[in-house]
């Protein structure tokens, strides 16, 4: 392959990687939950993904349930906010679908876009959806 073609391919690959969506990737709750677990979420480049979220019913805060979600998202016009439609896929789902609005922001540690703050609606309105990049 001629050198010129190689440089064009390399430049195209670099531009494509530089334009990746800042929300894409693996995320986990920024703190361990009282059950010593972390929530996890993977956002694909097409803004679809999967999440595992642990929660307790209001009547028994010691009873932890593991919910599995699939979702589809859309980016807001400002480039740092997204909306996700979370569809519960666990056996114990009972009206647990919800919408989640998220905002990516720079973390204190390295100045990168490594924090994600989200807010749910319906039953999930008061749930703390604070995420960090999952580097493990």
3-state helix, strand, coil in the chain (%, to 5): 15, 40, 45
Q: What is the pLDDT of residue 1?
A: 47
DSSP 23-78: T-EEEEESS--TTS---EEEE-TTSEEEEEEEE--TT-TT--EEEEEEEEEEE-TT
Sign of the alpha-carbon dihedral angle for 130, 107, 112, 37: negative
**Could you tell me the residue range of the domain that residue 85 belongs to?**
3-133
- Over residues 38-65, the pLDDT tens digits come to 999 999 999 999 999 999 987 888 899 9
Number of domains within the chain: 1
**Chain-wide mean pLDDT for the chain?**
83
Residue 102, classed as helix, strand or coil, is strand
Q: What is the pLDDT of residue 114?
A: 82
Residues 119-123 have a mean pLDDT of 94
Better pLDDT: 100 or 8: 100
Q: What is the pLDDT of residue 92?
A: 85
How many alpha carbons lie under 13 Å from residue 40 in its C-beta half-sphere? 12
């Amino acid at each position: 392959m001629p050198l010129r073609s190689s440089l064009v391919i390399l430049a195209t690959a670099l531009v494509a990687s530089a334009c990746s969506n800042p929300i894409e990737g693996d995320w986990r709750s920024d703190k361990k939950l009282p059950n010593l677990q972390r929530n996890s979420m993977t956002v694909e480049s097409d803004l679809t993904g999967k999440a595992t979220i642990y929660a307790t019913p209001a009547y028994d805060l010691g009873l932890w349930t593991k919910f599995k979600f699939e979702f589809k998202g859309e980016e807001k016009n400002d480039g740092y906010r997204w909306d996700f439609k979370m569809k519960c896929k666990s056996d114990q789902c009972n009206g647990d679908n919800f919408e989640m609005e998220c905002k990516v922001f720079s973390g204190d540690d390295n100045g990168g876009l490594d924090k994600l703050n989200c807010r749910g609606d319906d039953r999930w309105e008061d749930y703390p959806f604070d995420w960090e990049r999952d580097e493990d």
